[in-house]
């Protein structure tokens, strides 16, 4: 966790255009306000969860050209690159292209989780990185606040307000793997409102086959959007939206068959003080379409949610609810597997409440529960209990017990291939999680966090033969097991120009069948490294020159060797309006594989990325 950002005010257009940043000390950083743990602002030092924050300064100094590459900064995430644009990203296990289905991702409160297959289609989720204010990464269940599918973690991405992006910015990135051009312009509307518009074009070069030749999976895309923030007395109104069109490749067989992915979204959000707290109403519409020439997937999502946070004596209460409707359709290739029915509208209704109770002497007890009703399994009950002790020295000791679940997706309930596969009565996978953690800043120049977890899973996905006729087989719930491990990270300010950060995580797994059979060999439990370690050095060599060095070590997978790699970035900032940086990536690996999936075995090697950023 690295320096935070002090954004410019709406009435200082020059400062906003120049994107002036102020590096915070670690002591100040521990007081940065986060919202993902309790759905209300609280200091990071007081948030009783395994949470890692990536802020705007981290993003600027990362050298990353895409959101998944940026998420490698979080030591509590495992990131596996599949090909030029596809990634598998998870927390606390279950990683893999078809198994990373227990991590919920939100962008300004909008879920980008797929109801067709579960998980996130990262090839369609380009974001203008310079517009991100912070990314809060929680490892551990978030079902009580965020609902089903927030099983092993939550990634909450918050973009910057329009007031903090007044002026014009041009970002150009050119490299051996990535080329990105972004244009953004924003302005003020009187003293109460601000707006911005942006456009972005990207191109990702081919990854490599195991023999070193091109894997024919290059991709390109266009994205555009805007945002309006308006203060109406004590109320605040936000209206924002994006539209995109990407061309990627379906290349399991290296055919390079072109796929067009298009979509867009619009979000409206209204907040206002209410009583001793705040009330928020948010609604959004999201359109997604994937045209693979031989098949077509579309989804239209409508979502509305309300939330009210209020303080009542010793109690800090957050309550709310929402309703979501997803019209999903899949037109299959002729003669292949299909969904029955082809088109279906899924609904999700929920209500939740949490109560943080101050027990005295720095001890807080948080009780929470969410009830959801979904189209496949009906009601899901997702409770949690969280206890935190803020000790007199300022350090935090916390523990939690939570229940979470992953509801079925359309493939698990409707995929059909006559004679071989037919829909079954697949039900939700469930998790009961125990966590303990400790966070402290023993001196003003040291900040660290450590947590341990034990997760017990039931009703995991299996693929079972009929006990009498063998065929057809069905999706069933005969898997169970446990995972456990440690997560830790720390930052040390050696002096006011040099910060060193380190992170590490371990994972142990024990899965088995609980009755029935599974012809997949418990493939749904994923392919995860037993450990991963990172080390980051950020040094200001002078008032204008920056040097960032990052080392990573990741344990082997089932069919992939362990690996160690390094990235280096050298940045020159003569002033707040101009930045030129050169990044070298994967410098220790001539050829590296990050996934053990034999159908998606792609290699990645050394790369160079040069960025020029200007603001005026």
> What pLDDT digit, counting tens, does each position of 592-616 carry?
999 888 778 889 999 999 999 999 9
Sign of CA dihedral 422, 423, 424, 426: positive
**Which residues have CB under 8 Å from 285's CB, separation 6+?**
265, 266, 300, 301, 302, 303
| 44 within 8 A of 53, measured Cβ to Cβ | yes
In a domain, 76, yes or no: yes
411 within 8 A of 116, measured Cβ to Cβ = yes
- Please compute the mean of the pLDDT values over residues 381-410 and round it to a whole number: 96
- Confirm whether 185 is domain-assigned: yes
Which is nearest to 190 in space by CA: 133, 225, 228, 238? 228
| Separation between Cα atoms, residue 486 and residue 390, nearest integer Å | 21
| Tokens at 109, concatenated | 């409160």
Mean local confidence (pLDDT), 558-582: 95
Q: What are phi and psi for residue 59, nearest 5 degrees?
A: -65, -45
Give the per-residue pLDDT at 22. Answer: 58
Q: How sure is the predictor about 3, in pLDDT bands with cuts at 50, 70 and 90?
A: very low
pLDDT at 210: 86
**C-beta separation of 299 from 344 below 8 A:** no
* Minimum mean pLDDT range among 20-34, 126-140, 308-322, 414-428: 20-34
3-class SS letters over 357-418: EEEECCEEEEEEEEEEEECCCEEEEEEEEEEEEECCCCCEEEEEEEEEEECCCHHHHHEEEC
Reading across the β-sheet that carries 132-139, which strands appear in turn?
Answer: 50-55, 132-139, 153-159, 103-107, 110-111
Residue whose entry in the numeric block shows the structure tokens 């972005």: 200
The answer to whether residue 3 sits within a structural domain is no
3-state secondary structure of 136: strand
- Quick: pLDDT tens for 94-139: 999 999 999 999 999 999 989 999 999 999 888 999 999 999 999 9
Among 259-273, 503-517, 565-579, 586-600, name the one with the lowest average pLDDT: 586-600
469 Cβ contact list (under 8 Å, min separation 6): none
* Mean residue pLDDT across the chain: 92
Which residue, among 371, 368, 370, 387, has the nearest Cα to 317 in the 3D structure?
Answer: 368
Grade residue 7 by pLDDT with cuts at 50, 70 and 90.
Answer: very low
Three-state secondary structure of 74-119: CCCCEEEECCCCCEEEECCCCCCCCCCCCEEEEECCEECCCCCCCC
Please report where in the chains the tokens 């040099």 appear, as a residue.
Answer: 498
Residue 245 confidence (pLDDT) above 80: yes
Q: Which two tokens stand for residue 151?
A: 């099983």
Spatial contact of 60 and 20, defined as CB atoms under 8 Å apart: no
Phi, psi of 333 (to 5 degrees): -70, 145
Within 8 A by CB and 6+ apart from 514, the residues are: 458, 478, 479, 480
DSSP symbol at 4? -
Task: Please tell me the total count of domains within the chain.
Answer: 1
Residue 251 scores a pLDDT above 80? no
234 lies in some domain: yes
Instruction: Identify the residue whose tokens are 């960025």.
Output: 611
Q: Which pLDDT score is estimated for 336?
A: 87
Q: List 227's β-bridge partners, or say none.
A: 196, 240
DSSP designation for 163: G
How far apart (Å, rounded) are the C-alpha atoms in residues 58 and 2?
Answer: 6
pLDDT value, residue 393? 84
Q: Residue 492 sits in which domain range?
A: 13-615
DSSP letter at 425 equals -
Distance in angstroms (rounded) separating the CA atoms of residues 286 and 263: 7
474 close to 435: Cβ distance less than 8 angstroms: no
Asked if residue 603 lies in contact with residue 560, where contact means CB atoms within 8 angstroms, the answer is no
Provide the percentage of residues in the chain whose pLDDT is more than 90: 83
> What is the chain's Cα-based Rg?
24
- pLDDT beyond 60 at 201: yes
| Residue 554 to residue 563: CA distance in whole angstroms | 5
Residue 8 in this model has a pLDDT that exceeds 70 = no
Tokens of residue 293, six digits: 């020439």
Distance CA 321, CA 127 (A): 28
Structure tokens at 55: 């802020």
Whether the Cβ atoms of residue 350 and residue 433 lie closer than 8 Å to each other? no
Strand partners, 9: none
pLDDT of residue 597: 82
Locus of tokens 């915070």 = 24
Is residue 1 one of the residues assigned to a domain? Answer: no
Report the chain's terminal Cα–Cα distance, integer Å: 29
Distances (CA, A) of 241 to 10, 259, 303, 323, 324: 21, 24, 14, 20, 18
Beta-carbon-side half-sphere exposure of residue 591 (alpha carbons within 13 Å): 12
What's the CA gap between 94 and 479, in Å, rounded? 13
- Lowest mean pLDDT: which of 308-312, 341-345, 549-553, 593-597? 593-597
Rounded Cα gap, residues 454 and 463, in angstroms: 26
pLDDT band at 276 (very low <50, low <70, confident <90, very high): confident
- Render pLDDT for 464-501 as a digit per residue (tens, 0 to 9): 999 889 999 999 999 999 999 999 999 999 999 999 99
Q: Which CATH number is 166's domain given?
A: 2.40.170.20
Tally of CB atoms within 10 A around 97: 19
Integer angstrom CA distances of residue 577 from 163, 226, 568, 616: 17, 22, 23, 6
Q: Is residue 6 part of a domain?
A: no
| pLDDT score of 148 | 81
- Write out pLDDT tens, residues 153-167: 999 999 999 999 999
Q: Which tokens hold the place of 363? A: 């001890």
Looking at residue 331, what is its pLDDT? 95
pLDDT of 15 > 70? The answer is no
Instruction: Give 438's pLDDT tier (boundaries 50, 70, 90).
Output: very high
Identify the pLDDT of residue 112.
Answer: 94
pLDDT band at 20, cuts 50/70/90?
A: low
Between CA 487 and CA 500 the distance in angstroms is 18
- 247 within some domain: yes
Is residue 306 within 8 A of residue 281, CB to CB? The reply is yes
What is the C-alpha to C-alpha distance for residues 514 and 477, in angstroms, rounded to an integer? 9
C-alpha atoms less than 13 angstroms from C-alpha of 599 in its C-beta half-sphere? 7
- Residue 482 domain flag: yes
What confidence tier does 566 reach under pLDDT thresholds 50, 70, 90? Answer: very high
The mean pLDDT value for 192-211 works out to 95
The pLDDT assigned to 352 comes to 97
Least Cα distance to 433 among 478, 389, 386, 381 occurs for: 386
């Amino acid at each position: 966790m690295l320096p935070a950002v002090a954004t410019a005010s709406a009435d200082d257009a020059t400062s906003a255009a120049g994107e002036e940043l102020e590096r915070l000390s670690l002591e100040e950083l521990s007081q940065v306000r986060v919202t993902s743990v309790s759905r209300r602002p609280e200091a990071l030092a007081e948030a009783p969860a395994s949470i890692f924050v990536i802020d705007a300064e981290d993003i600027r100094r990362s050298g990353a050209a895409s959101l998944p590459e940026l998420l490698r900064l979080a030591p509590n995430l495992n990131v596996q690159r599949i090909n030029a644009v596809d990634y598998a990203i998870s927390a606390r296990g279950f990683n893999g292209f078809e198994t990373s289905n227990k991590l919920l991702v939100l962008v300004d409160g909008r879920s980008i989780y797929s109801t067709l297959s579960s998980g996130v289609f990262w090839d369609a989720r380009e974001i203008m990185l310079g517009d991100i204010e912070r990314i809060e990464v929680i490892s551990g269940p978030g079902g009580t606040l965020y609902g089903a599918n927030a099983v092993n973690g939550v990634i909450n991405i918050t973009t910057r307000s329009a007031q903090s992006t007044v002026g014009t910015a041009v970002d150009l990135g050119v490299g051996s793997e990535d080329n990105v051009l972004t244009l953004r312009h924003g302005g003020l509307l009187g003293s109460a409102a601000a707006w911005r518009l942006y456009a972005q074009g990207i191109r990702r070069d081919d990854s490599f086959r195991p023999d070193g030749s091109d894997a024919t999976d290059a991709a390109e895309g266009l994205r555009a959007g805007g945002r309006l923030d308006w203060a109406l007395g004590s109320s605040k109104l936000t209206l924002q939206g994006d539209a995109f069109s990407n061309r990627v490749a379906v290349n399991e067989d290296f055919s390079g068959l072109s796929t067009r992915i298009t979509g867009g979204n619009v979000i409206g959000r209204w907040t206002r003080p209410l009583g001793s707290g705040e009330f928020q109403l948010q609604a959004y519409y999201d359109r997604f379409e994937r045209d693979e020439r031989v098949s077509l997937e579309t989804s239209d999502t409508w979502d509305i949610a309300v939330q009210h946070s209020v303080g009542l004596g010793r109690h800090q209460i957050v309550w709310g609810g929402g309703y979501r409707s997803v019209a999903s359709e899949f037109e299959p290739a002729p003669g292949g597997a299909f969904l029955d029915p082809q088109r279906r509208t899924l609904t999700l209704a929920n209500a939740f409440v949490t109560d943080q109770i101050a027990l005295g002497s720095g001890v807080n007890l948080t009780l929470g529960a969410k009830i959801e009703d979904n189209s496949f399994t009906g009601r899901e009950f997702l409770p949690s209990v969280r206890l935190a002790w803020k000790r007199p020295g300022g350090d935090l000791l916390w523990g939690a017990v939570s229940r979470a679940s992953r509801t079925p997706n359309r493939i698990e309930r409707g995929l059909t291939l006559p004679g071989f596969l037919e829909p079954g009565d697949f039900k939700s996978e469930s998790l009961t999680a125990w966590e303990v953690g400790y966070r402290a800043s023993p001196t003003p120049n040291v900040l660290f966090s450590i947590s341990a977890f034990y997760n017990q899973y039931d009703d995991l996905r299996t693929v079972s033969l009929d006990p009498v006729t063998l065929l057809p087989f069905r999706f069933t719930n005969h898997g169970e097991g446990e995972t456990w491990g440690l997560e830790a990270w720390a930052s040390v300010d050696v002096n006011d120009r040099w910060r060193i950060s380190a992170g590490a995580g371990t994972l142990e797994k024990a899965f088995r069948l609980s009755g029935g059979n599974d012809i997949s060999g418990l493939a749904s439990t994923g392919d995860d490294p037993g450990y991963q370690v990172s080390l980051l050095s950020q040094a200001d060599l002078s008032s204008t020159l920056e040097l960032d060095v990052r080392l990573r070590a990741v344990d082997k997978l089932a069919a992939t060797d362990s690996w160690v790699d390094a990235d280096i970035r050298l940045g020159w900032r003569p002033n707040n309006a101009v930045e030129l940086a050169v990044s070298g990536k994967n410098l220790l690996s001539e050829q590296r594989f990050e996934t053990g999936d034999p159908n998606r075995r792609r290699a990645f090697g050394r790369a160079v990325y040069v960025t020029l950023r200007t603001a005026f």
